[in-house]
Structure formats: structure tokens, C-alpha cells
A and B are shown apart, each in its own frame.
Chain A
Amino acid sequence: MAAKSDLPQGTLDLLILKVVALGPVHGYAIAQRLQQVSRDVVQVPQGSLYPALHRLENRGLLAADWNETETGREAKFYRLTRKGRAQLEAESASWQRLTEAVALILRMSDGGAQ
């Protein structure tokens, strides 16, 4: 499990924001979706999902409402706030830059070895 879920610091927040951006969704569904979309590469330790959700809610990046699910029970649905959307855009952009930069460096060192 450790090898699969070793997310870089702060990445979990970014992923959560991205998933929630698609529409109101509850905690369990977020965990499921993260796992499905990443084809099981990213397995969120469920224990740290909820603290992360609450932290994002406190920072005003997420808002939450209690709504009925299709099964008729009440569940806590998270949605992105305007502030959250801005944060998501900023963070995805910087993540993009970072990964490109890391890729460049990796490629360069390959070239150096040849």
C-alpha cells in the first residue's frame, strides 16, 4: 500500500479539489473516484481523506451540504467554492510547471549519460 499511495506533500488536496470540481460529491465517492480514475495507482488512505476534507472546508476552499442520496439517506456533499476553484487553477498550473520541469531534468540527465 505504501508504494501505491505515497503522494507528494500537498498533492492530496489538489486531487480532492479536482474531483470535487466535477460536481457535488460525498467523501466515500471521492475516495472511490480517485482510485478508479488513477487506475488504482493512487490509493488514498481513507483515514487521511476526512481530515483533508475538513481542513479544506475550514480554509473555505470547499463547502458542504447535507443532501439526500439516491438511497434516501443523508450524506455530506462537498462542492467547490469560488475560492476553491481559484486555488485549484493556481495549483494545477503550478503542478503542471513542476512536472514539466522535473521531466525536462530527467530527460537531460538521460542525455548526459549517453
Chain B
Amino acid sequence: MTWWHRLLRRNQMEAQLDKELQWHLDQHAADLVARGHAPEEAGRLARRALGGPEQVKEECRDARGTRWVENLWQDFRYALRTLRQRPGFAAVALLTLALGTGATTVMFTVINGVLLKPLPYPDPDRLVSLQEQTEKATQWGNLWAFTYPNYLDCKRESRSLDMATWRYDGGIVSKPGAAEYVEGAQISSELFSILGVSISQGRAFLPEEDRPGAPPVAIVSDGLWKRRFGASLAAIGAALVFDGKTYTVVGITPAGFGLSDFEPDVFTPIGQITEPYMHDREAHFGFRVWARLRPGATLARARAELAVVGRQLAGQYPKSNAGRTFIGDPLRPDVGDVRSTLWLLLGAVTLVLLIACVNIASLLLARAASRERELAMRVALGASRGRLARQCLTESAVLGLSGGLFGILLATVGMRPFVALWPGTLPRAEGVRLDWHVLLFALAVSLASGLLFGLAPALRAPARELERALHAGSRSVAGSSRRLHAGFVVSEIALAVVLLVSAGMLGRTLLHLSSLDPGVNIHNILTARTALSPDTLASAARTRAAWQDILDRARRVPGVQSVTIVDTVPMREGNNQIGYWTTPAEPPADQQQLTSATSVTPDYLKVVGTPLRQGRFFTDQDRLGAEGVVVIDEVMAQQAFAGKEPIGQHLWIGMGSDPMRVVGVVGHVRYWGAADDDRTKVRAQLYYPFAQVPDNYLRRWSELMSIAVRTSVPPLQVVEPLRREVRGATGDQVLYEVRTMEQLAGDTLARQRFLLVLFGIFAGLALLLACIGIYGVQAYLTSRRVPEIGVRMALGATPHGVQWMVLRESLGMLAAGVAVGVTGALAAARLLVRLVDGMQTGGPATFALTLSVLVAAALFASFLPARRASRIDPMRALRQE
């Protein structure tokens, strides 16, 4: 019989035990009668020989080995009963706990979905991401995307890895349906098989399609298939015009398929690219290399192989590959700074949960103290002290688990709104849902918190001075729990201080950042990336004409005041850093000074509103063939020509060998947003006319350009007229990533704002809980001191004096809590400064402000019990004694 069998058939076992013992007694008695004892005498003797029947039964039950389960069950029912007896206490405790565990569970669910879940491919831990690594680091670090020839060599030489490569690509789909800009990926034919993903309709690329001159084929996403082909199976073999080129669709990806968190709509074979960079070991055009470990191979072995290949290639091609090797790391989702935000929030929410636990611990302790007589009685009746402690712990575990259950319910409800509140889009948000990891976590958290707050009462449960507790009533032991209660209040205050001060610092930071001058007038500006019709990219002249056409047409849209085209719009992502030098000889790359270079058209300043400080801005005369000119910002004027008059100076950028003449100086723009500008390494800024971009760069530049317009009406009103106007002769020029400058500026502070909102909520909760805690403790402590206070008042203490006595105690706890809390807050400040861009601690002012809020609230909370204490009627108090 297994132990749970024995447990389930407990009643039967009990009956059998009774029967067996009864039989023994009867048999013994019968023997005794046979030996001449009187029947009654015989029964008595038999019973005496066996010993106390209950004791024997207890020992037999112990021998069953199921005792602990039975006890647990008993304790569990007892816990439920006691909870039901005090519904008010149960409700407060459950609500507090539900809030604490609920918030923690939400945070963990997000962390689990975004950070911890592996990528959605089979055997994701066998996937490897490869990069080129250089000995020397530049300002961009020492890790690089692959060049195509290096990829081919690594792929051929590796025995442990099956490799594939892909790169970003985007363009206009103009058939079937209306022109639309979509994201795409150029991929090698092995990519799908390496990821272990099978195409849902049709097939993946064949190796022979992955080379120059092969017939153009494409795979489209499930989304594009539904949107443009009406989910018809006739899509396989149909034509798709992408970036002006006609492809035959051969496959459709499964719904939700993406390359990590990038979900392209169109896939084309990477090997069909005929550009020169496909044979250039020096041109880094963003080839990403992903690989899968072959069966039996290990990452260590793969790394060793890659290092060997790296050395061989360095010897073979010293010009491009000296000091360059290849490294592999497990392929992980790329989630950016979301990681630190999430861990910060989990930390904050844990503090709230801790406060909730401390609160309940002090409530339970107060209850345990008033139950001291009951417990003492039970010890006197033979309950072991360990048994009582276990019972206390069971009670708090039951409380914790039921609180956790409510918390999970809260979390299921609160999850979606939280994800929706996230600034921008939360990467991998689709993976955020309750699963058994989360349930396990929530269960563990609620159990742990239950044990945490049950510990203090449980350790006290075995009343030490039994007899005193029994006949002196509960009052006499109040003193010993006093210090513990004060300890609870102190820790609650300390935790609340950490959260309050953090929220205060975040608020301060946001205020500061919002007050900074971005260097542009962000109101009434609309920006949009612009894709030219693929036909116009055929020649430089046509391209220039097309851009001019867009400028002219956009200017005609009602509500548009001025128009410019620009490659990198302020406060939108983009990388435009280049080296420059001020003497004719080009210094080595690692000694060049860097500047952010932006190509613009003459009306740029009118659109963005950056002030001209000196000289002039560009005109239509600054074109190819005329003298090369640039305009620089104040920071660069200082950096490049410190003290000298910048106008008329010459400088060189890596575009042609002719010097560029500085014709103007403009104000500095916070290009990377209010927070990032001060931290970015390259603050110098330079503008050059788009009209002077050499013909051989024009095609590449045209892929990057955006249009920006200043409007006299709310900017979103001009979106549709603008779209119509710039569509072009063939109707396939489109605007995408349409944003107002206000949105872009807002996005740069979104993370700080989001953190502030949540920290504010957590800090408010913490403050509330801490006040409830200090109120509860003071109310409890003063209620137990009623007789003492009665004596004091009978001996002449004034109500005022009594009030002051209670408040003084609160002040003592507050002071201790604040002292501990400030230490914690200083540590939190260091953490925040490291993790949040533009973080300002705000110095003592922030501390003073937030702490005064806390002290005021806490004093108010303890004022109520103090007043009640001062109104005690001495006569009644003494009679109570």
C-alpha cells in the first residue's frame, strides 16, 4: 500500500486499528478469565497491560508515515477557519497581497515573455550568431557585420556549423495592388532550413536560385499574402513587383514568422545581388550570419574553427583581414534597453511586495500576541512547540497562497493594458502571456511571501513564559513584541523612502529634460521617409529631377509653408557619423575627428527652425560643379577651429578630394533627443547640400532621404494631400514612417516618462501601505497600553503629554526608517543614473521634498492613535486592569 493509499483510506485504517486493538484486549481478558480472574477485573488488567489506547493509536498512526500530510490538512482547515472568523483582517491582508503579487506577476510575465523565452525556432539553443571581430576598437566598437566573401569562406571551412546569411532590405511593392513600402530581407537559400522553419505554402529558395543570373524569385510573408493576394493559393507562381523588379512568388512563410523580432514582408535570394560589394572584403554592407550547430558539434569547437579561418584569411588577405577574426555567440533576441527598464521595474515592484509582506507580518504578529493565551493553553495541553510553529506557518502560507491566487487573477486582467502602455512597441510582445513558468513564479512568490510574513509570529508562537501567559492575561507580554513591531515600521518606511526618492528623481529628470532646448522648433513639422520610383534611380540626372519634382509638388500642398529633403531627421534613429580633417592630408581613420553629417536642401533651416548664428545657409547655387560648401554648428566650430573665425575655413570629409568651405554656423541640435545628446560621443554637427552629393553616391543617398515640411495647419492634416502629390508619374513613390516632430521628440523621452509613471504608482502604493502599517502598529501598541496610560493620566499626565508620547515614538521609528531608507535611496540613485539616460539625482532638494511628504503622511497616520490615547478615561482604563 503506498502512502497516499494509506492516506486516502484513512477511515478504513482507523476502523481496522480499533478492531485490532479491541481483539487484543478481548483475547487477553479471556485468557485472564481462564486463569481465574473475575471478568471485570480481567478487562481492567488487560487495558492496563496495553497502556493508554489513544496513545497506542497515536503511535500506530505515526508509524504509518502519513502523519505530516494529516497535520497539514488539519492546519489548513484550521487556518481557513481562523481567516473566516476575522473577515476584515482577511480582506485587508488578501487585498494587500493580491496587489503585491499581482504587480510582481505582471512584471515577471513581461520579463519572461520578452527576455527569458527562447527564440521561436526548434532547438533554439543550437543556433549561433556570427560576427567579425577586429583587434582594435573604433568608436563603434570592435564587432562588425560580415562581408559576403568572408561569409562564403567561413561557411565553406566550418565543420561544426551550417551557416546562412541575410540582410535588411526595404522597397516598394507596386504590383499587385497600390504602391506600398514594405520591409524585406535578402536571404541565402539555407536560412529557412537552418532556423528549422518550414514554408507554409510553396517552397524555400533552391541553392541554384541563390546566385547571380538566376530567375528572380521571392517568398512573401503570410501578412502580405493575405493583404495583397487575398490568401489565394494562386499566389504561388504569380508576379510580384518589388523595387521595380518583377519576381515570381515561390513560397509563403508561416504566420508570425520573423528573423528574431524583425518581420519582413518580402524575401529575395541574397546571391542574386550583382553589386560590387558582393566581392569586396572591405565593404561592410550589413550581412548577418546565423548558423546552427551540426549534430554532435559544440560551440567551443565551432569557435576554435572560426578562429583558424580568421587566421588563414588574415594571412591570405592582409589588406582587409589583418587583425580580423570571427566569433560566434548563442543567437538571442535583440531587445535593446528594454532589458534594464524591465529589471528596474521588477525591482521596484518587489519593494512594494516587501512592504505588503511587512504590513501583513505586523498584523499577524499583533494577532498572534492576542492569541498568546490560546497558544499557551495548547502547549499546556501537550501540543509540541514545533507543531505550533508549523501551524502558524501553515496559516500564513494559506494566506499567502490565496493572496497569490487573487494576484494571478489581477495579473491576467492587468497584462494587456500594461503592454499597451509600453512606450513604442514592446519587442516580442506577442510572447507575453501566462504560462507555467509564470504560474510557478507567482506560486513561489506568494508562498515565499507567506513564509516571510509568517516567520515572526511563528518564531514567537512557542510562548516562552507559559505560566505567566496563562494567568497574567495578554498584556504582560506586550513589551517583547514592541521592538519587533517598531522594526517592521522602520523597514516599511525605509522601503517606501527608496521608492519615493526614486520617483522624485525620475520626475526631476523628466522636468529637466523637457526644459532643454532641442535646437529645433518641434511644432508643426511633419517628416516621412520617401521612396523614389525605382525607375528614376536609373540615372543620376533623373534622380535629381525626381527629388526636385517632389520638392516643387510638396510646396504646392495647401498648409505647407516650406519643404526640405534631409537624410537624417533629428531625434529619429539613423547613423550619419563621418570623420573630418582640416589639413589636406587624410589622417588614419582612428585619428579622425567625428561629426554628424546631414545632407539637406536650402530650405532646411526654414523647416526645422534652427537659428543661423553666422554667415549664410545654402542656396540653389550650391550645386555640383560649384565650390563645395558646408555649414557647421556651434559645437563643431569650437571643436574644429577653436578661437578662429570659422567662416571661410576649409575642411575635408571623405567625399571627393576637394576641400569644403565653411559658409555658415548654426545652433546646436539635440539630434539624439534631450537625454542622449549630452552623453553621445559625437556632438559636432555638419550640414552639406544634397545637391552636391556626387553622382556615384546618389543612388545610395536616395534610399535614405526623408521629406520634412513646416505647416501652418496641424501637421497630420497634410499627410494625405502630401501622399497624393508626391506619388509621381508612375504612381509608385510612397511616404512611410510618417511622424510629426513632436512625436519624435516625445518618443525620445518616452522611456523616462513611462518609468516615472510606474515608479510614481509604486511609490504611492508604498506610501499608502507604509501609512497603513504605521497606523496599525501604533493603534495596536497604544491599545495594549491603555491601563498604563490610564495610570499615567491618573498620576497627572496631560492629554497633550500623552499625545506627544505616542507621536514621539512614531518620530523615533520614522527617523530610523528614513536613515536606513536614504542609504538605500542613494544606492538606487546610482543604479538609475547608470540605467536611465539623462538621469539627474537632483541632489538634496529631491530628498528633502519627497521625505517631507513621507514624514507628513506618516505623522498623520500615527496622529489618530495618539489622539485616541489622549482621550482615554483614566477611571475606565484602571478598572479594565
Contacts and interface: CB of A to CB of B under 8 A. Distances in A.
Do A and B interact?
A: yes
Interface of A: 26-28, 31-32, 45-48, 50-52, 54-55, 58, 66, 73-76
Contact of B50 (A47, A74, A76): A47
A26 B51 contact: no
A22 to B, nearest CB: 18
A76 B28 CA distance: 15
Contacts of B626: none
B49 to A, nearest CB: 5
Contacts of A55: 63
27 contacts: A26-B23, A27-B20, A27-B23, A27-B24, A28-B27, A46-B49, A46-B51, A47-B51, A47-B52, A47-B55, A47-B56, A47-B59, A50-B21, A50-B56, A51-B56, A51-B59, A51-B63, A52-B63, A54-B63, A58-B6, A58-B64, A66-B16, A73-B23, A75-B20, A75-B23, A76-B19, A76-B23
Contacts of B51: 45-47
A48 B59 contact: yes
A32 B24 CA distance: 11
Contact of A28 (B24, B56, B64): B24
A66 to B, nearest CB: 8
Nearest to B23: A75
Given A26-B23, A27-B20, A76-B16, A46 B50 contact: yes
Which 4 A-B residue pairs are closest in the complex by CB-CB distance? A47-B51, A51-B59, A54-B63, A55-B63
A84 B62 CA distance: 21
Interface in B551-574: none
B28 A74 contact: no
Contacts of B19: 74, 76
Contacts of A74: 19, 23
A32 B28 CA distance: 9
B60 interface: yes
Nearest to B56: A47
Contacts of A73: 23
A27 B24 CA distance: 7
B213 interface: no
A27 B60 CA distance: 13
B64 A50 contact: no
B20 A58 contact: no
Contacts of A75: 20, 23
B23 A58 contact: no
Contacts of A46: 24, 49-51
A82 B239 CA distance: 79
Contacts of A28: 23-24, 27-28
Contacts of A50: 20-21, 24, 56, 59-60
Nearest to A75: B23
A45 B27 CA distance: 16
A58 B63 contact: yes
B752 to A, nearest CB: 64
Interface in B1-29: 6, 16, 19-21, 23-24, 27-28
Given A47-B59, A76-B20, 12 more contacts: A47-B52, A47-B55, A50-B21, A50-B60, A54-B63, A55-B63, A58-B6, A58-B64, A66-B16, A73-B23, A75-B20, A76-B19
Interface size class, chain B: 20 to 34
A26 B24 CA distance: 9
Contacts of B64: 54, 58
Interface in B22-39: 23-24, 27-28, 31
Nearest to B65: A58
Contacts of B60: 50-51, 54
B701 to A, nearest CB: 84
Contacts of A58: 6, 63-65
A94 to B, nearest CB: 23
Nearest to B57: A50
Contacts of A66: 16
A51 B20 CA distance: 12
A66 B23 CA distance: 12
A108 B775 CA distance: 78
Contacts of B16: 66, 76
A58 B49 CA distance: 25
Nearest to B49: A46
Nearest to A76: B20
Nearest to A54: B63
A57 to B, nearest CB: 8
A51 B56 CA distance: 7
Nearest to B24: A28
Contacts of B59: 47-48, 50-51
A48 B24 CA distance: 13
Task: Give the most central of A27, A32, A51: most B CB within 10 Å.
Answer: A51
B861 to A, nearest CB: 56
Contacts of B49: 46
A52 to B, nearest CB: 8
A52 B60 CA distance: 8
A55 B6 CA distance: 13
A84 to B, nearest CB: 15
B23 to A, nearest CB: 5
B215 to A, nearest CB: 75
Task: Give the most central of A54, A66, A76: most B CB within 10 Å.
Answer: A54
Contacts of A52: 63
A56 to B, nearest CB: 9
Contacts of A27: 20, 23-24
A24 to B, nearest CB: 14
A58 B27 CA distance: 25
A62 to B, nearest CB: 12
Contacts of A45: 51
Interface in B56-110: 56, 59-60, 62-65
A32 B56 CA distance: 18
A54 to B, nearest CB: 4
A73 B56 CA distance: 22
A75 B55 CA distance: 21
A47 B48 CA distance: 10
A75 B23 CA distance: 7
A27 B17 CA distance: 12
B7 to A, nearest CB: 12
A45 B52 CA distance: 12
B5 to A, nearest CB: 11
A58 B62 CA distance: 11
A86 B36 CA distance: 42
Contact of B62 (A26, A31, A51): A51
A42 to B, nearest CB: 15
Interface in B311-350: none
B8 to A, nearest CB: 15
B123 to A, nearest CB: 44
A97 to B, nearest CB: 28
B381 to A, nearest CB: 21
Nearest to B50: A46
Nearest to B55: A47
Nearest to B27: A28
Contacts of B50: 46-47
Task: Give the most central of B6, B24, B31, B56: most A CB within 10 Å.
Answer: B24
